[in-house]
Amino acid sequence: MNVSRSAGVVGASIDSTAVQGEAPRAAKANPQMQAVLDQLATLGATSVEGLTPHEVRQQPSPADAVKALLEAQGRSTAPEAVSTVDNMTVPGPDGPVAIRVYTPAGTGPFPVILYIHGGGWVLADLDTYDASPRALANAAQAVVVSTHYRQAPEHPFPAAHDDTWAAYAWVLAHAASINGDPRTVALAGESVGGNMAAAISMTARDRGLQMPVHQLLVYPVANHAFDTPSYREHANASPLGRAGMQWFFRHYLTRPTDGDDPRVSILRAATVTGLPSTTVITAEIDPLRSEGEMYVKRLQNAGVDVWHYNYDGVTHEFFGMGAVVDKAREAVRIAALRLNAAFGDASRTQPPPATGDGMSVVR
């Protein structure tokens, strides 16, 4: 286990081999993660470059690979049980936006988490990313509102950002109607969902509107650039590599200069001061890891309360794989502890020290 905690000091996750002065080792998926990747390959998933969005949307997803692995292991493929799950729509700037509301057992009112799924602004939906909001609802004892959004290339930037902002505004105004507490609303998102969650926080700050009490950013897209150490190290990683990320950007951005917009490149925001407490979760084998670390550094320099957890041996998309990947369950547990601290749960005010091999934490 690698742990680096330096309150008030900029830091980054440290590889144990570097600490010992040895040559860095090539990152390798741990056996549980590799089993998912093997299933994904067996199902026929291929790299997205050269394919149309329609063709890529027909491909199996990492969620499909998890289900196939559970079947191969003779285990139940039923989703994690949540007390109630309701499908609804909310008003968006160009028509209704689909949401799914997950409510845990209990009487409420509960804290509320607006969760935004990944998929490169092009792929996936509420079904593809069903596991993460279920896990967060139970672990954090919060109502989780999972929102969809218009997708590219049919709806280019800023359509997805506009829809997720509309979902946030709806949650603030209607939290009580879903047994939620409108005073304790947090944001969570994976990949481009993490990008849009961060953009919502900055927009709320700039407009003088209610800020989320916390933002959980899971391997967020933070910059329209492809030249970081992790992009070089994991250019050909599965399920996301450099060419794949470039493909997503080409389909979402109307023109390359859209990538300069701070809603897309949150690292290029003029300032990140005044943002809510933040948890950033990254994966070792992910081209987005370095830009997540860079965003943590910016937040630290701005005085934002931020914790960063990096998990070795896992890839992009691991967070929702708790049924088969132990580190995903641990990441959800840590995320829930951080959320509960922001919600004011006095019984769980801070996460415990990192536990388990292959996780780094920066404070």
Q: Which helix (H) or strand (E) holds 345?
A: none
pLDDT of residue 348: 46
Structure tokens at 338: 């951080």
In this structure, what CATH number is given to the domain that contains residue 247? 3.40.50.1820
pLDDT of residue 20: 33
Taking only the tens place, the pLDDT of each residue in 70-113 is: 999 999 999 999 999 999 999 999 999 999 999 999 999 999 99
Q: Which of 226, 356, 177, 360 is nearest to 281 (CA)?
A: 360
Average of pLDDT values for 248-270? 98
6 falls within a domain:
no
286, 290, 312, 360: the catalytic one is: 286
120 falls within a domain:
yes
Taking only the tens place, the pLDDT of each residue in 211-222 is: 999 999 999 999
The CA distance from 336 to 139, in Å, is 6
3-state secondary structure of 210: coil
The CA distance from 162 to 196, in Å, is 9
Query: Binning pLDDT at 50, 70 and 90, where does residue 26 land?
Result: low
201, 224, 316, 360: the catalytic one is: 316
The boundaries of the domain holding residue 163 are: 16-362
Structure tokens at 263: 């809603």
Taking only the tens place, the pLDDT of each residue in 341-354 is: 999 964 444 444 44
The CA distance from 222 to 298, in Å, is 11
Average of pLDDT values for 59-67? 98
Q: Which of 191, 204, 132, 183 is nearest to 160 (CA)?
A: 191
Average of pLDDT values for 5-26? 34
4 falls within a domain:
no
For the purposes of burial, counting CB atoms within 10 Å of the CB of 26, is it exposed (0-12), middle (13-18) or buried (19 or more)? Answer: exposed
pLDDT of residue 18: 32
Taking only the tens place, the pLDDT of each residue in 39-48 is: 999 999 999 9
177 falls within a domain:
yes
3-state secondary structure of 93: strand
Phi, psi of 111 (to 5 degrees): -60, 160
219 falls within a domain:
yes
**Mean pLDDT, all residues of the chain:** 91
pLDDT of residue 359: 62
Residue 363 scores a pLDDT above 70: no
15 flagged as catalytic: no
Average of pLDDT values for 269-294? 98
Query: Binning pLDDT at 50, 70 and 90, where does residue 25 land?
Result: very low
Residue 116 scores a pLDDT above 60: yes
11 falls within a domain:
no
182 falls within a domain:
yes
For the purposes of burial, counting CB atoms within 10 Å of the CB of 280, is it exposed (0-12), middle (13-18) or buried (19 or more)? Answer: buried
316 flagged as catalytic: yes
CA angle 241, 2, 332 (to 5 degrees): 65
pLDDT of residue 27: 82
191 flagged as catalytic: yes
CA distances from 153 to 139, 199, 247, 288 (A): 35, 20, 11, 22
Query: Binning pLDDT at 50, 70 and 90, where does residue 362 land?
Result: low
| Percent of the chain residues past pLDDT 70, beyond the cut | 88
| Percent of the chain residues past pLDDT 90, beyond the cut | 87
Average of pLDDT values for 32-61? 96
Structure tokens at 203: 């927009």
pLDDT of residue 358: 63
The total number of structural domains in the chain stands at: 1
Taking only the tens place, the pLDDT of each residue in 165-180 is: 999 999 999 999 999 9
* Verdict on whether the full-model pTM lies above 0.85: yes
Average of pLDDT values for 57-80? 98
13, 132, 191, 360: the catalytic one is: 191
5 falls within a domain:
no
